[in-house]
Structure 1
Amino acid sequence: MSVVGEGSRSTRSVVISPGGTPAGTVRTCKEITCQRTLDLDLVRFTWNIENFSWYKDSRGQAYDVLESPHFQTDDGQYDWVLRLIIHPRPDRPADELCRDSVQIFLHLHNAPRETAHLKCQFVFVRFLHATKEDQTYQISRFREFRRGETWGFRRFIQRNTLFDPKNGFLQSSDRLTVKINLDIIRAIRDEVAKPARNPLLADGLQEGLQVLYKTMPHSDVTFVCSDGSHVKAHKAILSARSPVFAAMLSHDLSEQRTNTIDLKDIPKDVLETFLSLVYTGVSTTLDEHAGSILVLAERYQLTDLKEKSVDALRKKMCAGNAADLLPLADLHNAPELKNEVMEFMVNNHEKIRDTEAFRDFFMTHPALMAQLYERKQESSKRFKMEPPSSPGEHSRNH
């Protein structure tokens, strides 16, 4: 049995802004996975009680409380006893409401430590269909047992139910079979796995590619941005990451002849975020430029970047930007994001309908509006999908 938890530890060279956002350059980022494993001893004890019907009417200490033989773990360190109380004593306050019940208890006689942690399961075996075994039982969760402690159920089963032959607890030989299953925790082990790496990069390469991206030594291609600024890169890296770049830089095209890629629709800061993701798989400014990264990832067929940008957009989705996200997801082939945005808009129409983004969306995307109407018909929520109100009008209740 194991429980896996994941965390991260980072060493940063940054300044934390009042809002908690790092301002600066992340130097290293290390992900650590820890796995917790429970070492268990399993004890399975079966107790056959012959001539059990004798105890139905017989009274006295010898008949009221039955105690099993001791049973132990393989190493003998844990020693247990099972107790069955056929006739609870009505003079005991705790047993006053249990006089018609059969009780079952587990007693920890000895243990190597003061406490033991375990899960126990009590079982009364039934034979309703010839040799087919059925069971009735109650189960506790993992719990703490102290050495010398007794624990169990005061109202495990009604006495008449247990002794009634029709219920199958007593076999033809007048035998009752009781079982107990113990899962004892002997040790807890925490193991730290090897740090997770970016799947795009082999061990030791990520840091090198971060340096390569920042310094761009031996660059052989130049991007031209919307403001006319130049950003250098490497043909080999671009071609390895994108089939579009690979075709562009290997055929007799202007990009291949001039070693220049014209991106006059892309600002420099967006391109730098894009290239950081292309080279290293990470960027501290992804959230800020997620919409533009989605456009570039679709354009250059970078599936991993597209997934990262969609995740970032999903986290940022709100009433104020949903109407902008829907056409973006539709235009750039992000069907999962589109579906989530449409569902969000249907469920939050009252908050969205008077935003500036929705007013523009309503006028410029009639086909998507029609799809929203269709989604509304499928929704169990009741609202009216109406055009946005005039800028000075307050939202109305429908």
Structure 2
Amino acid sequence: MKGLPAIAVTGLGVITPAGDGTDATWEGVCGGKPTAAADPSLEGLPVEFSCRLPSGSEPVRGIPRRAAWRMSPVGKAAVAAGHDAVQDAGLDPASWESARVGVVIGCGVGDLASWRAQTLRLTDKGAASVSPLTMPMALPNMPAGEVALALGIHGPSLGTATACASGASALMTARWLLASGQCDIVLAGGAEMAVDPLSVAAFHRMGALSIRGDDISGASRPFAPGRDGFVISEGAAVLVLERTEDAAARGKDPRALLVGCGASTDAHHPTTPHPEGAGTEAALRQALADAGLVPSDIDHVNAHATSTPSGDASEAAMIGRVLPHGPSVTAPKGVLGHALGAAGAIEAALTVLTVERGLVPPTANLDGTVAEGGLNHVTGSARPQRVRAAVSNSFGFGGHNVVLAFTSDAPA
């Protein structure tokens, strides 16, 4: 049964290790070259590599000069992506009704570096040495707050924190705000800049990270045999969402339509996905029902696939079970690594581009003949394909599952 109305995606802003900007990221992801590299900031740790934003491209656009000094890197990334998305949508913050504009930005960690640095100050030098900027820099809601501040937005400003599903949760929440009539425009997405010795040490202790230090470019290998964990990454993506009729009224063609959302919780284990993918299957089926689609309508799947043994196996089995007709499958984390709370938004933006441009990026480091699950994996090079309907999967610690469905046109 179809649920809420379709929502137009009218703007994109994407910043990733593959490129500073939507087109640069798209070119890098379609090129299929992994971005994992040795990371001097992690020297001496059991894992010394990550996927970082391109050297020298720290995002500064859209950030008021008077505010840059007090902003965290994750706040800056969110603002830059938001700035790009608004420009892409052809909107002018000086002329919109700011009380009818909302912001929802997912962030799983916040500014971990600030927490760590200020904890050391407290321990070594006492309370008087702790920066008064600690809380406004470190809290995970601040990317949403900084976007609202930078763009003068006075409508709802929310932060979603569902671990690695945070960015997808933000888009789902934004859709509710638009469908309810509370907002006319919502900037929604995710931001994360959590490549830090503490996060890397913690994820390594869990056994979640790849330790393929002798083959760094091959370390992030979704669905591939021999995968041993994810490569930590960073980035941001913001999508401008509007009701379809509002976009049409101002003469703006949508890049794609967000037509369905599904969410569930595994309630199985704090960090390990349900081995049979029961929760993820429920989220996918909800998204299809919400969109008024049936499984055979789906032409493409943008998989969560982080490159962990159990997670990829569970997801591959679930995709094959729910979508047995063999839609194309890609996993961008082979190129980008895992950007945690930003990943769902980045991959939603890539799904929008796949629908819009008729091109499916390849999964890096994957030989399709031996890939997990026998799915229709896109490998080697980008594949031209008409994609009328696609889903983007995002799953997170805590058992959070979110699936977003996009189409080129509204389902009948």
TM-score with structure 2 length normalisation? 0.21
The structure in which a higher percent of residues are strand is 1
Higher alpha-carbon Rg: 1
Report 1 or 2 for greater relative contact order, CA contacts < 8 Å, sequence distance ≥ 6: 2
The structure in which a higher percent of residues are helix is 2
TM-score with structure 1 length normalisation? 0.21
